């Protein structure tokens, strides 16, 4: 009888201990992964996220030449999940479903505790997926209301009271608490809806930046777009009313980023509290950028820098012991999956198009000097090859473009017929012809 009491007391003690601190792993030293994917965030907006800048970007590597291979929500996120170009995973538009296996499915099978908080894919109805142990999401790709959203939490739909960014923050912390009690590493995709439409600021921010200076880069409401494809050249100049609406949208997007930035210390502190901060690969990027009036444009899905270039950083002391800025190498959303495959010691499928960032960061890989970009907007399919300093673009049935970004960073002067560039244009055109041929059949 006494022996049984001792056993019970011993077990209670273990349970009590596990509730207040992380359980030790069972000889599994693989890193955790926290992938943060914002929605429609431009590359030039990190100045409004000082916490994120200090805690992630300034603690790791900042990729100045970070791109998404298809600047549209669902195709880009499908590329993050698979490491594949959109022409190979066949998700060309937001309504199309991803039918290829994802890296989350693979590492879940390989012993990882997995979670998603926020947006999955636009074509998904929000319900829990089998490969995620922890799930918090909403219907489709656009959250109708930042306040009091309907969320599916681990298979149960309900209305939640509060601001979505803060609600998501709380669920991220809940996931990390639960992950700390697993004897396995974890992967969490944290995909807040900020700064996507309807870009509703938190109530405490509505009176912030009321004097925000107007956005007027050289290519804003470009006067002469005759050297652009007709689908762009035929765009009317933005009216004063258009510009006023754009400025309101821009300010509201920035305000949603301020609220998101406010939550980052809580997440980083939780990682430190559970003893996993330095053993967690943290990657931050956006699914695409967005135009704020450049070339008369107000959306995305173009090959111009405002659309395809995104904030992109990786924090992981084992690979990046000294923080730095990489301003020379082309990295992309398709590189995230192969990086996770390698670091998680999971077999990578031969369908992956991207490159593992491990080889770049430890100096063992010969890196790419060209990157395929592509999209299927309503105005017509386009594909492009980016070198980091130059870009060649073909739009189906329309005018081709070439820009020397070192001399023309605002992409105002189409040099497609300039004799000086014909040799490099021919080289890029050949690369584009070879790369845009799908290597997979439509599933």
DSSP E strands, 319-381: 324-326, 331-332, 371-375
CA dihedral sign, ordered 190, 194, 196, 197: positive
pLDDT at 23: 58
Find the distance separating the first CA and the last CA of the chain, reported in whole Å. Answer: 63
Residue 152: strand pairing partners: 137, 157
Q: Which residue has the tokens 């754009």?
A: 246
Query: Taking the CA atoms of the chain, what radius of gyration do you get in angstroms?
Result: 23
What would the DSSP string read from start to end of 131-179? T-SEEEE-SSS--S-SBS-EEEETTEEEE--SBHHHHHHHHHHHHHHHH
pLDDT at 10: 43
pLDDT at 14: 42
Q: How confident is the chain (443 residues) per 10-residue block, as mean pLDDT?
A: 45 42 71 98 98 98 98 98 98 97 98 98 96 97 94 97 98 98 97 97 97 97 95 94 97 98 98 98 98 97 98 98 98 98 98 98 96 96 97 96 98 98 98 90 85
Q: Maximum CA pair distance of the chain? A: 95
Q: In whole angstroms, how far apart are CA 210 and each of 205, 206, 258, 330? A: 10, 9, 14, 36
Distance CA 294, CA 235 (A): 12
- In the chain, the domains with their CATH numbers are 30-365 (3.40.720.10)
Distance CA 355, CA 315 (A): 18
pLDDT at 376: 97
Q: Which residue has the tokens 């960032």?
A: 357
Give the pairing type, strands 150-153 and 156-159.
antiparallel
Q: Judge contact between 342 and 348, C-beta under 8 A.
A: yes
Q: Hey, what's the torsion of the CAs at 32, 34, 35, 37, to 10 degrees? A: 170
Beta carbons within 10 angstroms of residue 381's beta carbon: 16
Tokens for 379? 């105005």
Residue 117: strand pairing partners: 136, 190
Beta carbons within 10 angstroms of residue 398's beta carbon: 18
Q: Which residue has the tokens 């949603």?
A: 256
3-state helix, strand, coil in the chain (%, to 5): 35, 15, 50
Beta carbons within 10 angstroms of residue 387's beta carbon: 18
Distance CA 195, CA 123 (A): 19
pLDDT at 362: 96
Give the pairing type, strands 32-38 and 280-286.
parallel
Q: pTM of the prediction?
A: 0.94
Q: Of 395, 390, 439, 385, nearest to 418 (Cα)?
A: 390
pLDDT at 27: 76
Distance CA 40, CA 253 (A): 9
What is the CA angle 116-117-123, rounded to 5? Answer: 75
Tokens for 305? 């820098």
Distance CA 131, CA 346 (A): 15
Distance CA 246, CA 242 (A): 6
Distance CA 267, CA 34 (A): 10
Distance CA 407, CA 410 (A): 9
Specify burial of residue 242 (Cβ count, 10 A radius: 0-12, 13-18, 19+).
Answer: middle
């Amino acid at each position: 009888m006494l022996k049984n009491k001792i056993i019970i007391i011993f077990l209670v003690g273990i349970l009590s201990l596990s509730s207040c601190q992380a359980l030790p792993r069972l000889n599994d030293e693989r890193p955790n992964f926290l992938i943060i994917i914002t929605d429609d965030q431009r590359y030039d907006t990190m100045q409004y996220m000082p916490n994120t800048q200090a805690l992630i970007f300034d603690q790791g590597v900042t990729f100045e030449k970070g791109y998404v291979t298809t600047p549209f929500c669902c195709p880009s996120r499908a590329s993050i999940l698979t490491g594949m170009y959109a022409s190979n995973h066949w998700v060309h538009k937001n309504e199309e479903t991803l039918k290829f296996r994802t890296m989350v499915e693979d590492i879940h099978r390989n012993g990882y505790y997995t979670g998603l908080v926020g947006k999955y894919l636009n074509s998904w109805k929000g319900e829990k997926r089998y490969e995620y142990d922890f799930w918090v999401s909403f219907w489709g790709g656009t959250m109708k209301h930042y306040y009091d959203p309907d969320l599916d939490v681990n298979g149960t739909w309900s209305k939640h009271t509060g601001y979505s960014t803060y609600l998501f923050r709380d669920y991220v912390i809940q996931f990390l608490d639960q992950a700390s009690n697993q004897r396995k590493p974890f992967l969490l995709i944290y995909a807040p809806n900020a700064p996507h439409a309807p870009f509703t600021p938190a109530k405490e921010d509505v009176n912030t930046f009321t004097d925000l200076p107007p956005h007027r880069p050289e290519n804003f409401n470009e006067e002469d777009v005759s050297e652009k494809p007709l689908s762009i050249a035929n765009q009317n100049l933005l009216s004063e009313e258009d510009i006023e609406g754009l400025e309101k949208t821009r300010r509201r997007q920035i305000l949603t980023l301020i609220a998101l930035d406010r939550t980052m210390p809580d997440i980083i502190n939780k990682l430190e509290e559970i003893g996993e901060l330095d053993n967690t690969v943290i990657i931050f990027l956006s699914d695409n950028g967005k135009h704020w009036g450049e070339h008369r444009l107000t959306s995305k899905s173009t090959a111009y820098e405002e659309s395809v270039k995104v904030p992109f950083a990786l924090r992981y002391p084992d690979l990046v012991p000294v923080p730095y800025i990489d301003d020379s190498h082309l990295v992309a959303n398709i590189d995230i999956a192969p990086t996770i495959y390698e670091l998680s010691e999971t077999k990578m499928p031969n369908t992956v198009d991207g490159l593992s960032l491990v080889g770049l960061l430890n100096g063992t890989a010969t890196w790419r000097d060209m990157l395929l970009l592509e999209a299927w907007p309503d105005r017509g399919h386009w594909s492009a090859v980016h070198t980091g300093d130059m870009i060649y673009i073909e739009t189906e049935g329309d005018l081709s473009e070439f820009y020397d970004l070192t001399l023309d960073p605002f992409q105002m002067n189409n040099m497609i017929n300039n004799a000086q560039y014909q040799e490099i244009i021919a080289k890029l055109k050949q690369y584009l012809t070879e790369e845009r041929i799908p290597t997979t059949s439509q599933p």
